[in-house]
Every structure is written in structure tokens, then in C-alpha cells.
């Protein structure tokens, strides 16, 4: 329902502020000035590659010469029974508002996952006076994100701010009784929280592309110009995997704001024939 907006602030500024706001990428006026039509509150239902058309949930059809899929990713779900309304994920502005309401002095917040999202939320929660425990199954935080030396500095900074970080221990069970969430670790320790925020990675949104018969390989598979297996369909951002020369052409998928921004611009140029 909203204008396109920045997601990174949802785990940072939007959490730490008294009144979270959407950071829109552009206003309605700027979009109109650039001759960009913004269609909101509808979903793309199917891609008809033969007809070069996208069918929308309101019954309308959008024809295309070139099509860009920038469907992003969604939070990876914790595959365990016992999750309830107090076990939440962060992806949208609505999610941010719901989480922010719980970040109050004395409230107990359990964060499952010691990656960027989890640690940013931990910092915001501590700033607002909540008690925070971070649970990370890997031997250290930011295992995929940064080298051990940097992770150690970040770990120590969080601990100094009052965050309890538990690494190297998996979750045996989780139970949300409607009032609080009890997380039992494999080692036997129990963490009781008023809210459990799950941040264990993301999965690319590829359903529309898969149903259209496009090649999927850890995301929508694209070439170096971001072109999918259909020469008239491109993909960019979290939803696509692309060959990276520095890794000998191995396919990579990057869940990062900068990558999405730069790939969006690259896809636009190549859709216009820049090669």
C-alpha cells in the first residue's frame, strides 16, 4: 500500500525513534515527473511470456517489451513447532511497527540469529531500555558477514551495552503460550521473553519466475547483464543469482541494499540495450 521505501532503516532508525516513519525512495510527485506509474495494493499473478504480459490480481493486464523482476526476499522461517503471535519476523514497515511496540524498558526480547538484522535490532532494543538476549547457533556472531576479528569487536561492543549473546548452542524447542515465549537451548538453558524476533536469513522470492518457467538457481538465474533465461526478462537485487568473475564465474546472490541499488540501475541500462 505504500510508496516504495528503504528497508535498511526498519532495523535501525525506525526502531530507535519514538515515531517510526517510512523512508520513501521517491514521492508521488517525483514519480509522476519521471513518467513512472506507481500501481500499489495489487499483486502480479502470472507472467505470460508468449504474450509479453503480466496479469495482476485486480484482473488488469500490463503488456511489456522488457520486464524486470525485483521481487526481493522474505525472512527464512524457523522450521519448528510452537511458534505463535509473539514470535515475529522483520521485513515490512508493518512488521517494524509491531516490533517497536514491544521495545520498552524492562521488556524481555529474545533475538534468534546473530546476523546483521538481529544485532541491529538488539542495539535498538537496548537503546530503548529492553532486556536483550541474542541466540546464535554458530560458534560466533556474523559468521557469514565479517571476519572473526571484526565480529569479536562487535560482540564485545554489544556485551558492553548489556546484550546477552549466546553462541554455539542450537534451539531444542520453542513455546509461545500467548503471554511469553520460552526458548529451550540444546544445552538445556531456557530463555523466557516477552517477544522473540527471528532473524535467520532470507529466501529469494522466485514463485512468479518459476511458474513462468524461468531458470531458478538460488534465486532467479541471470547472466552478467542480469538477463534471465528469457531474453526479455531481467532480474535484480535479492531475488537473483548472478555469475561473479572474481569467484571464477560462480553464482552468487547478495542480500544487500547497495547491490540492489546498483543492479537496478544496471538492469535498466541493459533493458534499454546498453549491453
Q: Judging by DSSP bridges, how do beta strands 87-88 and 195-198 pair with one another?
A: parallel
pLDDT at 121 over 90: yes
- Classify strands 131-136 and 108-112 as parallel, antiparallel or unpaired: parallel
Centroid of chain to Cα 16: 19
Q: Band the pLDDT of 145: cuts 50, 70, 90.
A: confident
- End-to-end C-alpha distance for the chain, whole angstroms: 34
Residue 189 pLDDT: 96
Query: Residue holding cell 549466546?
Result: 166
- Convert the pLDDT of each residue in 17-62 to its tens digit: 888 889 999 999 999 999 999 999 999 999 999 999 999 999 999 9
Rounded distance between C-alpha atoms, residue 134 and residue 117, angstroms: 11
What is the mean pLDDT of the segment spanning 124-130?
Answer: 96
Element (H, E) at 116: helix 116-127
Confidence of residue 154 (pLDDT cuts 50, 70, 90): very high
For position 77, what pLDDT does the model report?
A: 96
Q: What is the pLDDT of residue 262?
A: 97
Mean pLDDT, range 3-16, rounded to an integer? 90
pLDDT at residue 20 in the model = 84
* Separation in Å, CA 214 to CA 32, 138, 207, 228, 265: 32, 34, 10, 7, 22
Q: Which CATH number fits domain 42-74+204-271: 3.40.50.2300, 3.40.50.9100, 3.20.20.70, 3.50.50.60?
A: 3.50.50.60
Answer whether 42-74+204-271 and 77-200 agree in fold.
Answer: yes
- Three-state secondary structure call for residue 15: helix
Burial (0-12, 13-18, 19+ Cβ within 10 Å), 55:
middle
- Can you read off the three cell numbers belonging to residue 212? 513462468
Mean per-residue pLDDT over the chain, rounded: 96
- Backbone torsion region of residue 168, taken as left when φ is above 0, otherwise alpha when ψ lies between -120 and 50, otherwise beta: left
CB 237 within 8 A of CB 260: yes
Cα-based torsion angle of the residue sequence 127, 115, 143, 84 in order, rounded to the nearest 10 degrees? 120
- pTM (2 d.p.): 0.91
Phi, psi torsion values for 108, nearest 5 degrees: -100, 120
Q: Quote the CA–CA distance of 194 and 59 in Å, as a whole number.
A: 42
pLDDT for 188-224, tens place per residue?
Answer: 999 999 999 999 999 999 999 999 999 999 999 999 9
Which class would CATH give 77-200? alpha beta
Residue 41 CB contacts under 8 Å (≥ 6 apart), including other chains: 1
pLDDT at 112 over 90: yes
Are the CB atoms for 124 and 103 separated by under 8 Å? yes
Interval 140-162 mean pLDDT: 96
- What's the pLDDT score for residue 16? 84
Residue ranges of the domains in the chain?
42-74+204-271, 77-200
Query: pLDDT of 63-84, one tens digit each?
Result: 999 999 999 999 999 999 999 9
Model pLDDT, residue 135: 98
Taking the CA atoms of residue 187, residue 193, residue 195 and residue 200 in that order, the dihedral angle to the nearest 10 degrees is -20
For residue 33, what is the enclosing H or E element?
Answer: helix 28-33
* pLDDT number for residue 15: 87
51 φ/ψ angles, rounded to the nearest 5 degrees: -90, -5
Amino acid at each position: 500500500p505504500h510508496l516504495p521505501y528503504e528497508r535498511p532503516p526498519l532495523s535501525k532508525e525506525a526502531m530507535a525513534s519514538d515515531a517510526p516513519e517510512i523512508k520513501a525512495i521517491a514521492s508521488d510527485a517525483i514519480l509522476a515527473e519521471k513518467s513512472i506509474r506507481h500501481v500499489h495494493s495489487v499483486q502480479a499473478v502470472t507472467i505470460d511470456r508468449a504474450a509479453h504480459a503480466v496479469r495482476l490480481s485486480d484482473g488488469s493486464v500490463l503488456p511489456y517489451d522488457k520486464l524486470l523482476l525485483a521481487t526481493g526476499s522474505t525472512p527464512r522461517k524457523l522450521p519448528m513447532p510452537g511458534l505463535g503471535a509473539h514470535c515475529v519476523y522483520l521485513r515490512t514497515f508493518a512488521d517494524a511497527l509491531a516490533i517497536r511496540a514491544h521495545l520498552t524498558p524492562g521488556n524481555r526480547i529474545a533475538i534468534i540469529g546473530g546476523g546483521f538484522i538481529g544485532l541491529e535490532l538488539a542495539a535498538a532494543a537496548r537503546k530503548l531500555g529492553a532486556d536483550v538476549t541474542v541466540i546464535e547457533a554458530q560458534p560466533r556472531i556474523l559468521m557469514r558477514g565479517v571476519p572473526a576479528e571484526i565480529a569479536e569487536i562487535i560482540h564485545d561492543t554489544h556485551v558492553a551495552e548489556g546484550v546477552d549473546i549466546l553462541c554455539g548452542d542450537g534451539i531444542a524447542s520453542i513455546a509461545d503460550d500467548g503471554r511469553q515465549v520460552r526458548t529451550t537451548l540444546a544445552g538445556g538453558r531456557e530463555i523466557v521473553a516477552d517477544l522473540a524476533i527471528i532473524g535467520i536469513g532470507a529466501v529469494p522470492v522466485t514463485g512468479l519466475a518459476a511458474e513462468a518457467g524461468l531458470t531458478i538457481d538460488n534465486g532467479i538465474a541471470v547472466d552478467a547483464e542480469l538477463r534471465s533465461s528469457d531474453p526479455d526478462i531481467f532480474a535484480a537485487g535479492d531475488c537473483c543469482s548472478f555469475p561473479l568473475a572474481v569467484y571464477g564465474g560462480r553464482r552468487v546472490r547478495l542480500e544487500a541494499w547497495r547491490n540492489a541499488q546498483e543492479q537496478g540501475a544496471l538492469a535498466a541500462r541493459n533493458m534499454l540495450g546498453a549491453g
